[in-house]
Amino acid sequence: MDLRLSKEEELIQKAARDFADKMIVPIAELIDQDNHIPEEIFEALGDLEMFGIPFPEAYGGGEAGYLSYILAIEELAKACAGIAVVISVNSVGLSVINAFGTEEQKKKYMPECMTGKKIFSFAFTEPGTGSDPKQLSCTVTKAGDSYILNGNKRFITNAGFQGPMVVIAKDSETDKASAFVIDKFCEGYSLSEQWNKIGAHGGPLYDVYFDNVKIPEGNVLGRSGEGLWVLKVAMIYGKIGLSGLFLGTAKAAYEEALAYAKQKTHRGQPIGAKFQHIQISIADMAMKYNACRWSAYNLGFTADTVKDPNQLLREAALTKVFVSETAVEICKIAMGVHGSYGLMKDYKIARLWGDVIIGPQVEGTSPLLKILAAGIILGD
């Protein structure tokens, strides 16, 4: 077992880290305040090939695997959770096109979504459904050689950017779910106001309304009626992204607390040197971060080597739960190192506290994912 990163993985990690330090860190606070990421950042990330890391070179990707993807997401998220959210959800769209798309669909949608100029969305959740596919109320009706899509989707990331969107909807005749690719801002597509969420600002979240959106037959993704397979693959790759993302938040919290413990003095001595409880806090964070890190990296390795979707879903769900819950714990400990100062918006840890709680809630809460994983384990 060789737990070292390859040269290529190290290079990707370094490229993401350098970019984050130089280009994102200086504006991260502004992104948080304005809830907006400047477009130049996306283009620069596209130039750096950060949007296509795990995808085939034939479609413009880096073909560098999911471990490299997690390494990059970690570094970007450490600087700004919102940017990592955008990339992570874009990758969900790319993953399902890569897995289910026709040659034509891949050629059309994949290269453009690796440039930073077009950004993918994935739309499954609805106001009434949570994440329960049987309750889908978005419907498609066949009309000649097209489908007509109607309904609402909730909490859709990246819905305000130009680019494609994968939509899961129910066929009004067969009652089965199918997946479709549509172009955002086509006729009949509209958006709510942005949801005002507690953290990960810059990663825009909307409800989406479809009013007689016309979808050409060629835009069915995968086989008609097999939309839930598409959903399953999206769930897997979404959780891979989230694992990398909250690993980054955890690291940011750890590094903030570490720097604070060295810099803040009490009677002439840094608190990290003076108080055992600060030393124990530092050790607790280091331990927890290490556990998260190997858990997330292992998920990247698993995604690159394991083909069984059930096994992959189980690993992805459990890793997402572990990393995101532990990230909250790390952030809580980091807060304790900061004391009252940590509550002030002038300190980064205050922003991280809003970011970090997102992990355990999205794409399935921790209890829900544990039950899902247990079902797979018990069914083995």
**Residues belonging to the active site:** 363
State the minimum distance, in angstroms, from the CB of residue 310 to other proteins.
21
Gyration radius from the chain CA atoms: 21
Cβ 254 vs Cβ 330: under 8 Å? yes
Alpha-carbon distances, residue 351 vs 181, 206, 344 (angstroms): 35, 21, 9
Q: How many alpha carbons fall within 13 Å on the CB side of residue 47?
A: 7
Could you say which of 221, 278, 318, 334 contacts other proteins (CB under 8 A)? 278
- Cβ proximity to other proteins, 163 vs 360, nearer residue: 360
State the minimum distance, in angstroms, from the CB of residue 262 to other proteins.
16
State the minimum distance, in angstroms, from the CB of residue 155 to other proteins.
6
- 375 binds other proteins per the rule CB under 8 A: no
Of 224-263, which residues contact other proteins (CB under 8 A)? Answer: none
- 367 binds other proteins per the rule CB under 8 A: yes
Cβ 151 vs Cβ 213: under 8 Å? no
Cβ 261 vs Cβ 337: under 8 Å? yes
Cβ 87 vs Cβ 73: under 8 Å? yes
**Phi, psi (degrees; rounded to nearest 5) at 312:** -65, -40
- 128 binds other proteins per the rule CB under 8 A: yes
State the minimum distance, in angstroms, from the CB of residue 312 to other proteins.
23
* Nearest residue to 94 (alpha-carbon basis) of 77, 119, 116: 119
As a whole number of angstroms, the distance between CA 243 and CA 251 comes to 12
Alpha helices in 221-264 (DSSP H): 227-263
- Cβ proximity to other proteins, 249 vs 281, nearer residue: 281
As a whole number of angstroms, the distance between CA 168 and CA 243 comes to 24
Where does this chain touch other proteins (CB under 8 A) — which range of 37-45, 71-79, 143-151, 359-367?
359-367
**Per-residue contact string for residues 191-230; x = within reach of other proteins by CB under 8 A:** ----xxxxx-------------------------------
- 155 binds other proteins per the rule CB under 8 A: yes
> CB under 8 Å to 295, separation ≥6 — which residues?
243, 319, 322, 323
- 344 binds other proteins per the rule CB under 8 A: yes
Of 299-328, which residues contact other proteins (CB under 8 A)? Answer: 328
State the minimum distance, in angstroms, from the CB of residue 329 to other proteins.
9
Where does this chain touch other proteins (CB under 8 A) — which range of 131-139, 184-192, 216-224, 227-235?
131-139
Q: Contact residues for other proteins (CB under 8 A)?
A: 125, 128, 130, 132, 134-135, 155, 195-199, 266-267, 275, 277-278, 280-281, 328, 332, 335-336, 338-340, 342-346, 350, 353-354, 357-358, 360-362, 365-368, 370-371
